[in-house]
């Protein structure tokens, strides 16, 4: 078990400084194992602190799975990894009814979804029926087995990975399920010095031993502190303007984007962007949100929610470019 709630033992239960120190311990513990993925670690923490889910996309070998599992091990919480394959069944995820011949009764056998942190590895390798089994769990935080509805543990976090360059034998996630993920995090290659450190560690060995550094109770306290981070009226208006620009670009002098966007972001994106900005501000040690928090997280919130047109594809304009142009064009009120 993690150190017996370091926040309580310090005599500062609930104080902002103690809560912030708890998150810094997690970042430090993960950083001892993972080299050169600070942006990924930060965004996974944002998902954890806002009680939401994240989709991680990147080519093989970028430590996506290792980062997720390392974060889970730094928390005194249960962890389950589900390797998605084409022959996976919904019951393999949520569980099923098992007949007990001795009692002549059926009992519920819970699946791996009943964990605090669930790693859905290569989620796009499973067919739609299996992917849809996650929908109720991710949105309602409960599952139905044999007519019985069972609540999932708290905290409950789904972190999914997918490979963007392999399409054979994969099943693209439908928009309805993509929208359940607060963030879509794109992982890039590490910088040269970071890769040098990775190589050195692999050759010399001596990977640090990771232990849980924060309890589930402390995570819930930190969430309450994140909820209290101030988002003033100007920043709320700024977030609304960004979302409006994805639907009606001309209202923000972005007429050139209108032929490129087929569907803009939903109100859920507005909520997620505000919540992500709150968590980012808290990680930075502030109790108020700045425009930079909004700008930093907008690409992760929007990249899987904007649907581009055929014209955008023909012109070679991707979602990343569109989001960048929106952030450049929308002014802060």
Write the pLDDT tens digit of every residue in 143-197: 888 778 888 988 898 998 888 776 666 788 888 788 889 999 998 888 888 888 8
Query: Where do the CATH 1.10.8.80 domains begin and end in the chain?
Result: 229-329
Query: Where do the CATH 3.40.50.300 domains begin and end in the chain?
Result: 6-223
Rounded distance between C-alpha atoms, residue 197 and residue 23, angstroms? 24
The residues pairing with 181 across neighbouring beta strands, listed in sequence order, are 53
Please give the C-alpha separations between residue 68 and each of 33, 58, 169, 226, 271, in angstroms, as whole numbers. Answer: 11, 13, 24, 21, 24
Domain 229-329 fold is Helicase, Ruva Protein; domain 3 (1.10.8)
The highest-level CATH class for domain 6-223 is alpha beta
CA atoms within 13 A on the CB side of 311: 8
The fraction of the chain above a pLDDT of 90, given in percent, is 38
Q: What is the pLDDT of residue 203?
A: 85
Structure tokens at 270: 């507005």
pLDDT level of residue 240 (50, 70, 90 thresholds): very high
Q: What is the pLDDT of residue 7?
A: 46
Structure tokens at 111: 């699946």
Rounded distance between C-alpha atoms, residue 215 and residue 206, angstroms? 26
The pTM score is 0.88
Express each pLDDT in 71-86 by its tens digit. 888 888 888 998 888 8
């Amino acid at each position: 078990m993690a150190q017996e709630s370091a926040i309580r033992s310090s005599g500062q239960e609930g104080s902002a400084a103690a809560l912030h120190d708890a998150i810094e311990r997690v970042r430090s513990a993960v950083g001892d194992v993972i080299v050169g993925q600070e942006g990924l670690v930060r965004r996974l923490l944002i998902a954890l602190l806002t009680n939401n889910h994240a989709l991680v996309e990147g080519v093989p070998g970028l430590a996506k799975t290792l980062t997720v599992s390392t974060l889970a091990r730094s928390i005194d919480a249960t962890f389950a990894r589900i390797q998605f394959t084409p022959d996976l069944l919904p019951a393999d995820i949520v569980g099923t009814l098992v007949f007990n011949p001795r009692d002549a009764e059926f009992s519920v056998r819970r699946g791996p979804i009943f964990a605090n942190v669930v790693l859905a590895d290569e989620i796009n390798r499973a067919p739609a029926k299996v992917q849809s089994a996650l929908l109720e769990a991710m949105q309602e935080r409960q599952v139905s087995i044999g007519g019985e509805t069972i609540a999932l543990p708290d905290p409950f976090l789904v972190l999914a990975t997918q490979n963007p360059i392999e399409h054979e034998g994969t099943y693209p996630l439908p928009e309805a399920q993509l929208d359940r993920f607060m963030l879509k995090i794109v992982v890039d290659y590490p910088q040269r010095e970071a890769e040098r450190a990775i190589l050195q560690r692999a050759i010399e060995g001596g990977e640090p031993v990771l232990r849980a550094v924060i309890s589930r109770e402390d995570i819930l306290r930190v969430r309450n502190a994140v909820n209290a981070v101030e988002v003033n009226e100007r920043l709320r208006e700024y977030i609304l303007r960004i979302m409006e620009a994805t639907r009606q670009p001309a209202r923000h002098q972005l007429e050139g984007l209108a032929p490129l966007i087929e569907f803009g972001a939903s109100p859920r994106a507005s909520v997620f962007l505000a919540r992500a900005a709150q968590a980012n501000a808290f990680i930075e040690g502030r109790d108020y949100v700045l425009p930079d928090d909004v700008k930093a997280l907008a690409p992760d919130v929007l990249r899987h929610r904007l649907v581009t047109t055929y014209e955008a594809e023909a012109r070679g304009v991707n979602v990343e470019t569109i989001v960048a142009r929106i952030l450049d064009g929308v002014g802060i009120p």
